[in-house]
Structure 1
Amino acid sequence: MQPEIMLGTVLPLLGLIASASATILQNGQVKITDYPDTKVDPSAYAFETYEADAFEISYKGRWDSKKISWWSAPGLVFGFTGETVAITFGNETVDFTLVGYRLDGLDWMFTNVTAGATHLFVNPETPGVNVTYPVNPATFELRVTNWAYGVQIDKVHVAAGDGLVKLPNPGRAIEFIGDSLSAGMYTAYEGLSSFAYGVGAGLGNTDYNVVAYPGICVSDQDCWGNPRGQVHQYFYTSDTGWRAAEIWGDNPEPWDFKKQQAPDIVVINLGTNDNNEANNVTTETYVESYTKLIQGVHGKFPDAQVVVMELWLGFYQSGNSYFQNKGFNQELYNIVQYFNSAEYLTAPKIWDGTTNATRTLNTTNHQPFVHFFNTTGIMQHNDIGPQWHPTDVGAIKVASHLTQFIRLTFGWELEATGPEVFHDTLYWNDETSY
């Protein structure tokens, strides 16, 4: 068996990302990235302007008190009247950050945004604005694609005389806690191509958050340049990247869990980096850290169901075939069994990652709430790219299987009825004779 390969080999170079070239290679070929330039001079428009903390704006994922985005696929959504939407980005925006945005249920559009600039996303010529049966109010959604980059919202604008509209929360919510696999590292649109996003968006009528960052361990130690593990960092607003070190230093903001819609389901996929020998994580440390993380989740969201994902660590060739590498399998089984046992449910212990305190959960309805999702057989060796992460197809396969697991286990019907989830995956054959 070949040794497990770490996922996120380039993590020591994260501090150089901001100055890196914008050239992206896909299958060895330069990816076309000449997205439309949406930057405008705001003085040329008659705008109705809203501050970043306007009640009508719903922030998705984690945003700090400065309205700076963190982790994977954070975004915002609001309803609006009229035919115009523009956003002014704050100075903490990383220049040229790629964002996806869309109107109602139409396909994603993309543009690179810059610090201090105003970008016009919707205007009377935007496809879908002048349709026969418009949605009223229309919905605008924006998501940050890259897990390392981020934006800061300064102001939101619509046309003079029009306004923003507060949209109700979806009927259900799901949260993902993970590393590069959940963050979408090396997929085409990263956060917007990850399996985690695919599940959240693909379910439909579902609020979703992806608290994931490449190279991070669940164990609270340095892993591939991440100074803290998810057993600690999950309880804070910012991630473990270079931006957080520059903006917040050693004093990150604790996450206010009341700011998000409480998830009905929390999916955890952690251990790939703990399992790598380079990080020197012991089995005992991994189990203790994973256990504390679930105790922390249970304390913040006592009604949430938790899904523990089986790890996949790439594939190895043996003889004339390939086999899936795994890690901590028995340990993960044991963790699931512990949380569903009378030992835990009789007096559930919960843990707070900001105070490092453990206490007994004061509720009376102690039922099994942790589930195991078996990933064996979902992907094959050619669903893993040269950088040891799922290809776009691999991410779609994981998302599809996990979505069906959620439907069968929790009775969630699939309520997405047409809006695009994964962009640039419409492949077809134009030839009838070949």
Structure 2
Amino acid sequence: MRIARLGLTLLWSFHAAATILQNGQVREDPYPGEARRITLDDSWRSYDAHVKEISYKGRWDSQHVSWWSAPGIKVEFSGTQLAVSFGKSTSDGVLVAYRVGSLDWQFSNVTADATYQFVGPELELDEDLVKEHKVFEMRVQIAGVSVASDASLQVPTKFNKKVEIIGGSLAAGQFATYETISSWGYLFAAGLGNAEHTLTAYPGACLVDLRCYGGSAHGMTWYWNRASDPGSRAREFFGDKPEKFDNSAEQPADLVVIQMGGNDHRHPNEIPGDEFYHAYVDLIEDIHRTWPHAVVLIVSQWGQWVKEGLSYVPTQVYEEETKNVHDHFRDRGFVYYFDTKGILQHNDINPKNHPTDVGHLKLASHLLQWTRLVLRWELQPMGEVQHGTLYWNDQQEY
């Protein structure tokens, strides 16, 4: 597994040589969509990374380098071809995800200081679509975007609503098939169909502001106001002084979903419950000061499944403390509590104590329906889950 450096996060941190099993068999084409490396010439019109026509999704620093889970870009383009140039901070051979419109996600290895063509004649666009502007979406650090010399980019339309997901490895999709694209955080936010979304999530992140696993000296209460994540790659680049991130300068979130506690609870961190409680209150207060109209949803954090007799019983991490956080804000009316008990079963959790792809789907689906029923958000199209990836059963007999 190749770890992406600087420009890419865990969504694209695996190398295309990784094996994906499907129905007990090796998936024949686990990463469809290998792009072609090209050299730009006069037949291309190029836009650098600073133009308004490139819409950045998720957290990016001032140098257009992305760190957290599922950062990306979205552009609208005319014509039949599109290429992306990658910056010097891109890891060699890293895998990126991309798609056109709402078609399935495609995957391609790319490298630093290089340009790759992702859209060409093979897309087989009909005559009307050739003339129209089409949406191209990618999750990666870039140096620029190019289209045919007689075509152009256009500023893509933004949704009015926005969702922010804050968490650790569970929200980031660690160990899932397509990592962040398979995570409950991405599946929920993208599944809404009508909201911008940012995943401020990173495996190993603690909520409490102290050294977690002997790595970063800070937790999410501090990193929520930073452009880069707590990972070792970012610390190698920035040391203990990462670039600050002004959340108030971004589109305000309408809904903030938080699931944290697994890393705080786990050895060797073992944060006392009262410290965890106060850190949770501090984070929510910070969010509320920044986005006073946002709803905050606390998602409970499961622990281990324990075998009792002939059944498995789930445990929860910081259950009492998390409920107390909700009680602390109850009278103010903007904080809700979402109990994950009963949604996942022991076989929805892999041996690393992270959700399987099915586990992520279950949690995302329940969160979508919570948003529809409690917040009265209209889902478009009716809460699409696992959107944009191909899953199929290719065995006729069992």
TM-score scaled by structure 1?
0.82
Task: Give me the whole-angstrom Cα distance separating, in 2, the residues matched to 1:190 and 1:302.
Answer: 32
Tell me how far 1:247 sits from its aligned partner: 2.2
Contact 1:105 1:418 in 2 (8 A): no
Task: Give me the whole-angstrom Cα distance separating, in 2, the residues matched to 1:294 and 1:135.
Answer: 47
Q: Figure out how many residues of one structure are paired with residues of the other and give that number.
A: 385
Describe the superposition over 1:332-375 as per-residue Cα deviations: whole angstroms up to 9, x where unpaired: 1111111123xxxxxxxxxxxxxxxxxxxxxxxxx410000010
| Alignment-derived partner of residue 222 in structure 1 | 211
Query: Identity percentage over the alignment?
Result: 39
Tell me how far 1:183 sits from its aligned partner: 0.3
Task: Give me the whole-angstrom Cα distance separating, in 2, the residues matched to 1:74 and 1:141.
Answer: 11
Task: Give me the whole-angstrom Cα distance separating, in 1, the residues matched to 2:226 and 2:170.
Answer: 20
Q: Which residue of the other structure, out of 154, 158, 168, is the alignment partner of 1:179?
A: 168
| Alignment-derived partner of residue 361 in structure 2 | 396
| Alignment-derived partner of residue 238 in structure 1 | 228
Tell me how far 1:69 sits from its aligned partner: 0.9
Task: Give me the whole-angstrom Cα distance separating, in 1, the residues matched to 2:381 and 2:305.
Answer: 33
Tell me how far 1:252 sits from its aligned partner: 1.1
Q: Which residue of the other structure, out of 221, 242, 250, is the alignment partner of 1:260?
A: 250
Contact 2:15 2:93 in 1 (8 A): no
| Alignment-derived partner of residue 77 in structure 1 | 74
Instruction: Tell me whether 1:93 sits opposite 2:90 in the alignment.
Output: yes
Instruction: Tell me whether 1:410 sits opposite 2:357 in the alignment.
Output: no
Tell me how far 1:425 sits from its aligned partner: 5.2
Task: Give me the whole-angstrom Cα distance separating, in 2, the residues matched to 1:20 and 1:124.
Answer: 28
Instruction: Tell me whether 1:169 sits opposite 2:163 in the alignment.
Output: no
Question: CA RMSD of the aligned region, Å?
Answer: 2.6
Task: Give me the whole-angstrom Cα distance separating, in 2, the residues matched to 1:423 and 1:26.
Answer: 17
Task: Give me the whole-angstrom Cα distance separating, in 2, the residues matched to 1:54 and 1:134.
Answer: 23
| Alignment-derived partner of residue 377 in structure 1 | 342
Instruction: Tell me whether 1:340 sits opposite 2:334 in the alignment.
Output: no
| Alignment-derived partner of residue 7 in structure 2 | none
- Residues 240 and 75 of structure 1, relative CA distance in 2, 3 Å threshold: same
Contact 1:81 1:136 in 2 (8 A): yes
Following superposition of structure 1 onto structure 2, how do residues 48-67 of structure 1 map, counting pairs within 5 Å? Answer: 48-67=45-64
Instruction: Return 288-297 or 92-101, whichever deviates more.
Output: 92-101
Gaps of 5+ in 1: 1-9, 11-16, 145-150, 342-366
Q: Which residue of the other structure, out of 133, 136, 160, is the alignment partner of 1:140?
A: 136
Task: Give me the whole-angstrom Cα distance separating, in 1, the residues matched to 2:249 and 2:49.
Answer: 15
Task: Give me the whole-angstrom Cα distance separating, in 2, the residues matched to 1:417 and 1:40.
Answer: 38
Contact 1:106 1:419 in 2 (8 A): no
- Residues 230 and 415 of structure 1, relative CA distance in 2, 3 Å threshold: same
Task: Give me the whole-angstrom Cα distance separating, in 1, the residues matched to 2:322 and 2:315.
Answer: 15
1:142 partner amino acid: M
SS at match of 2:264: coil
- Residues 309 and 86 of structure 1, relative CA distance in 2, 3 Å threshold: same
Contact 2:193 2:383 in 1 (8 A): no
Task: Give me the whole-angstrom Cα distance separating, in 1, the residues matched to 2:14 and 2:383.
Answer: 37
| Alignment-derived partner of residue 24 in structure 1 | 18
| Alignment-derived partner of residue 110 in structure 2 | 113
Tell me how far 1:43 sits from its aligned partner: 3.6
Tell me how far 1:427 sits from its aligned partner: 2.8
Following superposition of structure 1 onto structure 2, how do residues 193-212 of structure 1 map, counting pairs within 5 Å? Answer: 193-212=182-201
Task: Give me the whole-angstrom Cα distance separating, in 1, the residues matched to 2:390 and 2:351.
Answer: 19
- Residues 58 and 298 of structure 1, relative CA distance in 2, 3 Å threshold: same
Following superposition of structure 1 onto structure 2, how do residues 246-325 of structure 1 map, counting pairs within 5 Å? Answer: 246-325=236-315
SS at match of 1:236: coil
Task: Give me the whole-angstrom Cα distance separating, in 2, the residues matched to 1:426 and 1:190.
Answer: 15
Contact 2:58 2:199 in 1 (8 A): yes
TM-score scaled by structure 2?
0.90
- Residues 221 and 340 of structure 1, relative CA distance in 2, 3 Å threshold: same
Describe the superposition over 1:213-268 as per-residue Cα deviations: whole angstroms up to 9, x where unpaired: 00111011122334321011111010011221122222211112245321100000
